[in-house]
Amino acid sequence: MTLAALATASPGPGRTSELPVQVLAAAPIPEPVDRVFAGALEVHAEATDITHRIFNVRVRIPVQAAGPTALLYPRWETTSHGPSLTATSLAGLSVSIDGQPLPWQRHPIDAHAFQLEIPTGASTLEATYQVIVGADTLSRDLVVVPWQRLVVYPAGWYARNIMVEPSVTLPPGLEPVSSLEVEAVQDGMVELAPVSLETLLDSPLHTARHLRKVPLATMGDAPVTLNLMASRAEDLDLPPERKAELVRMLDQVAAVFPPAPFKRYEFLARLEDDASTGGAEHRGSSEISLPSNYFRDWASQLNGRDILAHELVHAWNGLYRVPADLWAPTPNVPQGGSLLWVYEGQTEFWGRILAARAGLRSRQDTLDQLALDAAEVANRPGRAWRSLSDDVRYPTFMLQKPVPWRDWQRRKDYYREGVLLWLWVDALLRERTNGRQGLDDFARSFFAAPSGDAPARTYTFDDLCAALDALAPNDWAGELRAWVDGHEEVDTTAGLVRHGWQLVYTDTPTAAYLQQQGEDGVIDLSYSIGMTVTDKGVVRAVSWNGPAFAAGLAPGSRIAAVHGEPFDGERLVAAVRSARRIPVQLAVEQDGERVERTLRYRGTLRYPHLVRVSGRPDTLTSLLAPRRGIRQTKTLPATPLTEK
């Protein structure tokens, strides 16, 4: 139907029509308001049903007023920056008022809201329910209490206005670890000090059958502890040299960043056989996932050695100083992400730098890591249609969704591209001040907190530019916008070049590249024939418009033969090495057929490296060098293992 026909068919003023009109009646959910909440919520979680992996939760809420109201189950999660929580986890909801059953109805539009009518004279509302979780949260040897997945709370207040008295019952013999203060422990029940709902949601509690608390150092007056948790006691071993490196990392953090925005800090590190390296940030703690051999097989951890530094820096960058559109009054208010290239991107930058300064990575290993960053970002054809300022919108619509063509669709590039962007900013600061200023100076002033328990401070893009302008006056808004809003014209390696280094490719992979392959479970030929493939011949990823793409390969295809011989990873690599002389010929099983494919590639193996730029000073080496001066941390004495 044409637009003219639609206009004719549409009813005008005073006209009736048989065409459908939506009628969706929904009572409004009270908006969050910054006001006093009288009393405190009592939240108790039973974490003892390990067999069924179910939390049994009871929440008692002092009634504030009679009339219609709503209970909310959290939707948005700080660590994911998106709507990663789902009410499908909540079951068996039963509500009572002063001991009498109270009916509820789920909101017809917002499935995370439960509507209630509070009678006059009521005193206490109680909600009981179950939360279904997985083995990563409740198991015999490892238990996590994720408050953001366990609570319901009344609509109409900011989370910081609602005080909570939390408690949890743990399986026998397990000791809790959290940034929250423990007030009492009796018969497995742990009573925690009252905190605001905002703080509770940001303060997970962990425990494990085997737990080792390793005091590292104090940052000012704030003690920092590494809590190692595992299902086997032998996985808790921490070689003295690893501890010394972590203490040096804290020292390097303290040399750059202002006094700690926390009273104490807990690394909650879980070591498991099938774990990959990752983390989730909180103001007074971080949840770290590590392979069980992380500290024992240090040589195999090249690409994960900066994870603790990354999560710690988030206490300043992201939890104390928060992008204004990312801060939200409750976990049910949508968040923005326009500055994730600062929140995550600059934090990733500091992870690289601090790991080098502390000796967690050697200078060469750091250069190799930066080469991986630079190559991945430089080979993102998706930049043609998705700028960095659009990539940061990923959490709102791509979270937990499959992305088979990542280099074209783009997802979470703001981490690695952020490393390169902030290298560029550091280089510009140095050039414009004759080496007197750099990102160290920016961090020291921008992230300054008056005390460890100071409330979060938000910032905008303009605030960011003003802070940079105070160090080196310039059109920072124009330059940063040109990068984050730009497309193919953006040279993402410009910061490396300004620091005296450039990205090149050779036929020899670095140790970091080989380890990345192993962690991904693929043979990575992205920068030559444009694909990654498993040791079984299954194509995992194909580079958009690359040689494999042009030959018709797609993710999920299986390579059955290379040059007529049965598939073998070494055979494929050898074929690519010789592709200048002999085109790569593959037999591919795809869509139920076996087809022959010839790749139009006339090169050889290509792996990323960094080399010096002739004639340019090397300022990168000085950026990676340890900061000397007054020691900002004090090493804490060791304590014996705590194993239950």
User: What CA–CA distances, in Å, run from 35 to 64, 161, 165?
Assistant: 12, 7, 19
The answer to whether position 125 is within a domain reads yes
Answer whether residue 18 shows pLDDT above 80: yes
Q: Per-residue b/e over 541-568, b at no fewer than 16 CB within 10 Å? A: bbbbebbbbebebbeebbbebbeeeebe
> What is the reported pLDDT for 3?
40
Among candidate residues 324, 279, 339, the one with its CA nearest the CA of residue 305: 279
Among candidate residues 602, 623, 265, 582, the one with its CA nearest the CA of residue 426: 623
Higher pLDDT, 15 or 73: 73
pLDDT tens digits along 529-554: 999 999 999 999 999 999 999 999 99
Q: Which H/E stretch holds residue 363?
A: helix 363-378
Of 185, 206, 227, which closes a domain?
206
Q: How confident is the model at residue 140 (pLDDT cuts 50, 70, 90)?
A: confident
Query: What are the backbone dihedrals phi and psi of residue 505, each rounded to the nearest 5 degrees, phi first?
Result: -125, 135
What secondary structure letter does DSSP report for 488? Answer: T
> What is the reported pLDDT for 6?
43
Which whole number is the average pLDDT over 440-462?
Answer: 96
pLDDT tens digits along 472-522: 999 999 999 999 999 999 999 999 999 999 999 999 999 999 999 999 999
> What is the reported pLDDT for 631?
52
Which whole number is the average pLDDT over 590-599?
Answer: 95
Cα–Cα distance measured from residue 322 to residue 98, given in angstroms and rounded to the nearest whole number: 40
State the amino acid at position 17 in one-letter form.
Answer: S
Which whole number is the average pLDDT over 355-374?
Answer: 98
Q: How confident is the model at residue 8 (pLDDT cuts 50, 70, 90)?
A: very low
- CATH number, domain with residue 549: 2.30.42.10
Answer whether residue 625 shows pLDDT above 60: yes
Q: To the nearest whole percent, how much of the chain has pLDDT over 90?
A: 90
Query: What are the backbone dihedrals phi and psi of residue 143, each rounded to the nearest 5 degrees, phi first?
Result: -130, 135
Among candidate residues 420, 456, 208, the one with its CA nearest the CA of residue 329: 456
Question: Which tokens hold the place of 594?
Answer: 């076996």
Answer whether residue 4 shows pLDDT above 70: no
Which whole number is the average pLDDT over 432-439?
Answer: 97
Answer whether residue 300 shows pLDDT above 70: yes
The answer to whether position 231 is within a domain reads no
Q: How confident is the model at residue 40 (pLDDT cuts 50, 70, 90)?
A: very high
Average pLDDT in the chain = 94
Cα–Cα distance measured from residue 454 to residue 432, given in angstroms and rounded to the nearest whole number: 34
- CATH number, domain with residue 103: 2.60.40.3650
The answer to whether position 592 is within a domain reads yes
Q: How confident is the model at residue 15 (pLDDT cuts 50, 70, 90)?
A: low
pLDDT tens digits along 257-298: 999 999 999 999 999 998 789 999 999 999 999 999 999 999
Of 145, 178, 206, which closes a domain?
206
How far is it between the farthest Cα atoms of the chain?
Answer: 87
Among candidate residues 305, 292, 276, the one with its CA nearest the CA of residue 233: 292
- Residue whose tokens read 């067999």: 51
The answer to whether position 114 is within a domain reads yes
- Residue whose tokens read 């992230």: 447
What secondary structure letter does DSSP report for 399? Answer: T
Question: Which tokens hold the place of 400?
Answer: 């937990």
Question: Which tokens hold the place of 113?
Answer: 């809201």
Which whole number is the average pLDDT over 571-589?
Answer: 97
Question: Which tokens hold the place of 180?
Answer: 């929250």
Which whole number is the average pLDDT over 133-147?
Answer: 94
Cα–Cα distance measured from residue 452 to residue 315, given in angstroms and rounded to the nearest whole number: 10
The answer to whether position 76 is within a domain reads yes
Among candidate residues 169, 254, 240, 237, the one with its CA nearest the CA of residue 207: 169
> What is the reported pLDDT for 378?
98
The answer to whether position 159 is within a domain reads yes
The answer to whether position 503 is within a domain reads no
Half-sphere exposure for 177 (CA within 13 Å, toward CB): 31
> What is the reported pLDDT for 644?
40
Number of domains in the chain: 2
> What is the reported pLDDT for 416?
98
The answer to whether position 612 is within a domain reads no
pLDDT tens digits along 79-117: 999 999 999 999 999 999 999 999 999 999 999 999 999
Q: How confident is the model at residue 1 (pLDDT cuts 50, 70, 90)?
A: very low
Among candidate residues 249, 528, 497, 251, the one with its CA nearest the CA of residue 370: 497
Answer whether residue 562 shows pLDDT above 80: yes
Contacts of 622 (CB under 8 A, 6+ apart): none
Which whole number is the average pLDDT over 316-322?
Answer: 98
Among candidate residues 265, 262, 176, 175, the one with its CA nearest the CA of residue 215: 265
Residue 560 structural domain: 511-598
Q: How confident is the model at residue 634 (pLDDT cuts 50, 70, 90)?
A: confident
Cα–Cα distance measured from residue 423 to residue 420, given in angstroms and rounded to the nearest whole number: 5
Of 206, 240, 258, which closes a domain?
206
Pairing of strands 265-272, 285-291: parallel
Query: What are the backbone dihedrals phi and psi of residue 183, each rounded to the nearest 5 degrees, phi first?
Result: -95, -35
> What is the reported pLDDT for 25?
82
Which whole number is the average pLDDT over 432-459?
Answer: 96
Q: Dihedral sign, CA of 562, 566, 570, 571?
A: negative
pLDDT tens digits along 166-189: 999 999 888 899 999 999 999 889
